[in-house]
Each structure stands twice: as C-alpha cells, then as structure tokens.
Chain A
C-alpha cells in the first residue's frame, strides 16, 4: 500500500503523526512531497516501510529509527540517523554535521559530502553494526570517539577524499576506511592508519557495491584502488591517564 503525503507548510508533529498512522494502517511505502526543513521525520519510527522524501528534510531525520528505510531526493540537514537503531537512510545529495551520531545499527548512504563530526561515537553490539558510506568527502572529526561500526569514505570527485583534521580522535572500536588514505597529520589522537589487506577489502566490497547500486554508479570506478583503514591504536585510550587517590 502506497500513501502519499503533501508536507507543504506542515509542522513536523502532524507530519510524523500522519506517517505513524499510515504505518499503523499497513502502508509499506510512503511518499512525502514538498518537504521543506521539517525536523525529526521518522523519529523513533518502527516498521517495515520505505519513506521516499522529495525535498530537504530538517535535522535529526530518522533519529532513534528502528527498521524503516528513508530515501531522500535532496540534501539533508544536521544529524540524519542520530542514535539510529536499525533500517536505512539513502541520501541523494549531501548532509550536514554529525551524520550518524551515536548510530548503533542500520546503514546510511550519502551520495555526496557530509559536514563535521560524521559518525561520531558510533557503536556496535553483537549483530548490530552500523554502516555509514559517504560518496564524497567528510570534514574534521570524522569518527571521533568511535566505539564500533564502519565508516567508508569513497571520495568520488577526486582520487581520494578531501578530508581535514582530527580523523578518528579518541577512536576505541570499529574502523574508518578511506579510499586513498589521508595525510598522517590529519589523524586524530589515538588513531592509526594502515593499508587495507585484500582480505579486509573483501569485507568492504559489498558496501561499495550497495552504495553504487543505490545511486546508479559503477562500483568498479571505486574498487580498483588502494584503501586505508583508520583504527584505534588502543581499545583503552584512557587507561593510562589516571591514578587512584589511594
């Protein structure tokens, strides 16, 4: 069942209520037209539903979301996939800061670029492993305090992404994989970089193919290249910082 909602001029609360009602009444596909900055779309939403968004959703798209897929035909604002639990967000454009903040499961695919602090404090547990794939570049503090999951940066406009400083600072779990790598000076405190082995590359390949499939791109333009992983220098970055009072 497909439900179409015209979001023009609608506040986010009635919009989300309409989405929840559609899901409750069995919709498997919801199309939102004329979205213009409404925050919190699909916030805390459960279910097996695909939400296609035409326009620019506001901050915290899919926050706490557990199951649905959001396909955005436009750019995204601050923190899509914030503390997301399961499901997918596919962005045909760019997104702002703190994409996938504290994400604990599911997948996010961003066709173009993201802002600062992408994938900050992502974490994984048992079968829940969050995946963030960025087609273009990311700004500073990508994967800061990262505790689990995978961030993959493809840098599709150049031979490697344009990335600035503090990558993986305080990282203590998971990994950031970057096509072509980054300059050592851009590594954050407690992060180290090494070239991806062929074995590790085969673990990345399905996500490159899935990304390419989502956006109609040729995966081979990405796959025949060198990749580098940024990972924790230690699982206990602060273990040697403290001494007991007694």
Chain B
C-alpha cells in the first residue's frame, strides 16, 4: 500500500429518476463498469475508459461522466499524467503502452494557419455553377514529354508511369486487419470504392472478403511481411512499403497473440494465437540503396504495373530522406506526422518522437522542388488530418493528397478514448471479439464514412472556389493562400509563408 490507489480518472453517474433499468449499459460495456443488482444499476467507475458507449446507448440520457472528479493538487509541471505514469512504472517496471495519437499538449500548426478568399479584385468561383477539379493523380509525372510521328499522326513516345486516379484528394490510411476489425475494414473499403478513392490494408494482409474492392486498395509491405505473397501484391492497386509510422517512429510493431484469431491468422499467414512481431527495421533494408532494391523488387515482381509508395514517419531529416526516396524509383512518399494514430504504441514514443506533419510536408516539398525532382514522386500527408480545412492547408503546403485514419474511425462511432490496445473496443472497431465486432454494421458505417469524405470534398471545393481556384493543382504548394497567425518566424520560414497582414 505504499502507493495506494490513484484518484478515479472518470466518474460515472446514473440519474435514478431517469433510469428505467433496461440494462443496456450493462450489456454494452465490455469493461464491466455496470452491473444490475435487484432494482438498481451499480457502477464501478474505476474501470471506465470514457468510450461513451453506455451514454450513446442509454435511451433515457440517464448516464453522466465526469473527468477527474478528484484531482491532484494542481501543478503545471507535475501533471496528473506525469504522476500516474510514475506510479504505474514504480509498480510494474515496464514500458507504458498507449493508443491513438499523440496526447501531449503541443501547439497545433494547422490552427495557426488561415486560408485566403477573394474580394473584389478577382472574383470567387461558385462551385454550384462552375466545375471544380478535385481529381488527383498519384504517381510519377514525366519531366518531359516526347512525341513522334506514326501513320501521319502525332503519338506520345514517353512511357508514362502508372498513376492512381483519385476523385478527391482524401484517401484512408493503413489500418490493418488485426488492429481493426473486418467489419471496420469492409466499411472503409465500400466507402472508398463509392467515393472513387483508395484505402490501405496496413500490415495485416488482405482478407478474402475485400477482394471485390481490391482495385481501390493499396497493399502494404512492412518489416514483418505478414500476408505478403505474389497474389497479395498483384491484387493491390498500388503497393506501399512502410518504413515508419508517425505514432511510433523508429520502432516496430507488435500484435499480441490474443488478437490473432483464426481469421487474422489466415490473413497474416501466421499460426493462431502467436505474436505478430514486426521488427524495427526491414532486415533487407539497411541503407537507401537497399530501399531502392526493395522498391524495384516489388515493381519487378508486378511487372512495373503498380505504383510503389514509401511511407516514413515525419522526423527531423524527413526532407533529405524523401529526396532519397524520390531517387529510389518510388512513385509516392507518404509522410506520417507525429499526431498519427495507432492501435498500440509505447507512450514515450507516441508523445515525444517525431515532428508535426505541417512542417514535414512543407520541407519535403521544398527540398524536392529545389532538387528538381518534385515530379518524380507524389507527396501524401498523413497523421492528424481532422477536417477539410486541414486538407486544404496541407495541400497548400505542398501535399498531393492526404490519408485520414482516426477521422474515418470517428465517422464509424469511435470516441477517441485511446484504449485500442485493450482489444475491447465497444464500437466494434479496434477489436476481434465477435460479439463486439458484430456491433459495427458495414451497411451503415460505410455510408457514414462515405458521407464524411463527400462532405469534406464539398467543403474543399467551396474553400477553393472562395479563393478563386478551380483546380486542386492550383492549390498544391500555393503558399500564398496561407498566412501564419501567431506563428514564430522560424516556423514560418520552414513553412515558407507570410504572417497575417503581410
């Protein structure tokens, strides 16, 4: 009892006047907060993770949740989180595992950027009346086009590299089957197919039930090579080599054996219940030359028909690394910022390693332009894209398209409780427990995700129209459409933007 119990993180209250003892809270909470005894719902608030499932399912709005009802003595440095981590590690001697994205209170650059709009001197464009071009091509663009004559007509002689055609610059990033449920993946797949965009498999293989959507799926090759064989590579619309992840730059992944159920085992091609360990590096890539070899081996295996992406975590030297990737023969570089989500990551990595995607994209774009190789790769921004304004801003900073992850999960009900690593997601998203997975209906969830992409796309075209831009290509890297609001000079130099009023 040296340390004793720490204060409750959340306190659940039940309004006895409202409660009709229907028991839905008991049924819905996989963490065991509620139990019915006689004519009364009893509550154990200590196991609550604030997933809000009970609140969403209560027909009488009888449940209330209070965060930190008993707090510590306030202190700006010794925050409750800092103190509780020490208690946890003093008891366990272990690495703290956390979920979702960076939870540290860093300033958000997106929220210090403002967009431009037309007034008088050049007219804004009404997207209702004028066509807005949001179609985006991901892949290499030729530096020069060569034409020749054949049978009296002009023909293109330059061989074009394969590109992906997106109807909107919003894709869904890589969340593996294992990290999320099959119902969740199916919902995302149906949504991207409908929206004319793409999603990633993550490093969990491609489940058979997703084959009908394979033309809209980017298959991932990560350091564990789970589920990777020639059939998998040929099915994908594109192949992505995962080098790093924004939520945990520099380390590998680890799917605990409990999550490796029969179907996950089959898709990943590993035995039931065994740990799926992805090493920190790819052990066939120890240098930038080796990366080139992996890129080309994938192209060679698929007869140069598929674009190959390389995903890195946004870190200090992202720009130089991206320049190396552009020269490796890859068709796109994905830069995953430090706010990117994850099923599970050591908290110290999630909260302290990597840099914001805004700064990384601006510097990658600038470096590639300086070296004259911006056309060699498309740039995909991921990690912390929360709304359409973020999409517009990151494209203006130089990205071609974005990957969303957490936002798509929130569209399916996720409340960002950050407890994905427990495998008990009450929304049926980050779990493999059949009764929980069954709660997520792909018929409904796919519509919800599709609606989100559609709504953001509409907002994006409105923002572009207001700025007098009718093509996404004219927004790309158009830093003049951004101004920094209370950003310091150093950051504005990196972003290559002016302050408000200038």
Q: Chain A interface (Cβ within 8 Å of chain B)?
A: 12-13, 16-17, 20, 39-40, 43-44, 46, 59-60, 63-66, 78-79, 82-83, 85, 98, 101-102, 104, 117, 120-121, 123-125, 128, 144-145, 147-148, 170, 172-173, 235-246
Contact = CB atoms under 8 A, between A and B. Distances in A.
A170 B9 contact: no
Nearest to A59: B293
Given A236-B257, A246-B49, A104 B300 contact: no
A120 B49 contact: no
B427 interface: no
Interface string B334-348: 000000000000110
Given A125-B265, A172-B277, A243 B95 contact: yes
Given A59-B293, A64-B229, A44 B275 contact: no
A124 B271 contact: yes
Interface stretch (B86-94, B132-140, B443-451): B86-94
B279 A39 contact: no
Nearest to B89: A243
B229 A173 contact: no
A246 B67 CA distance: 14
Interface string B275-304: 101010001100000000100110011111
B297 A60 contact: yes
A243 B88 contact: yes
Given A83-B225, A236-B275, A238-B254, A13 B270 contact: no
Nearest to B85: A245
A242 B96 contact: yes
B302 A98 contact: no
B275 A238 contact: yes
B225 A102 contact: yes
B121 to A, nearest CB: 53
A79 B9 CA distance: 51
B275 A60 contact: no
A102 B418 CA distance: 32
Contacts of B302: 44
Q: Is the interface of A mostly helix, strand, loop or mixed?
A: loop
Interface string B68-97: 000000000000000000001100101111
Contacts of B418: 245
Interface of B: 9, 49, 88-89, 92, 94-99, 223-225, 228-230, 233-234, 254, 256-257, 265, 269-271, 274-275, 277, 279, 283-284, 293, 296-297, 300-304, 346-347, 418-419, 421-422
B283 A246 contact: no
A85 B9 CA distance: 49
A170 B297 contact: no
A43 B271 contact: no
A43 B297 contact: yes
Contact of B293 (A39, A46, A245): A39
B92 A44 contact: no
Most chain B CB neighbours (cut-off 10 Å) among A17, A43, A79: A43
Given A44-B233, A121-B224, A245-B97, A13 B300 contact: yes
Contacts of A16: 300
Contact of B300 (A40, A46, A121, A235): A40
Given A144-B279, A172-B275, A243-B97, 4 more contacts: A20-B303, A145-B279, A148-B271, A242-B97
In this complex, the member of A46, A235, A245 whose beta carbon has the largest number of chain B beta carbons within 10 angstroms is: A245
B293 A244 contact: no
Nearest to B99: A245
B300 A241 contact: no
A243 B99 CA distance: 12
Contacts of A78: 284, 293
A144 B9 CA distance: 41
A59 B257 CA distance: 33
Nearest to A102: B225
Contact of B301 (A44, A147, A245): A44
Contacts of A46: 230
A145 B297 contact: no
B256 A12 contact: no
Contacts of A60: 284, 293, 297
A206 B376 CA distance: 51
B300 A85 contact: no
Contacts of B99: 245
Nearest to A123: B270
**Interface hub of B223, B225, B297 (most chain A Cβ within 10 A):** B297
Contact of B297 (A40, A147, A172): A40
Given A120-B283, A121-B225, A64 B275 contact: no
14 contacts: A16-B300, A39-B300, A44-B302, A60-B284, A66-B230, A78-B293, A83-B228, A102-B228, A102-B283, A120-B283, A238-B275, A244-B422, A245-B88, A245-B98
A66 B279 contact: no
Nearest to B421: A244
Q: What 8 A-B pairs come out closest when comparing CB atoms?
A: A44-B301, A243-B94, A102-B225, A243-B92, A242-B97, A125-B269, A245-B98, A40-B300
Contact of A144 (B225, B228, B283, B422): B283
Nearest to B93: A243
B427 to A, nearest CB: 17
A128 B229 CA distance: 12
Given A39-B297, A244-B97, A98 B284 contact: yes
A39 B297 CA distance: 8
B283 A101 contact: yes
A66 B270 CA distance: 18
B274 A82 contact: no
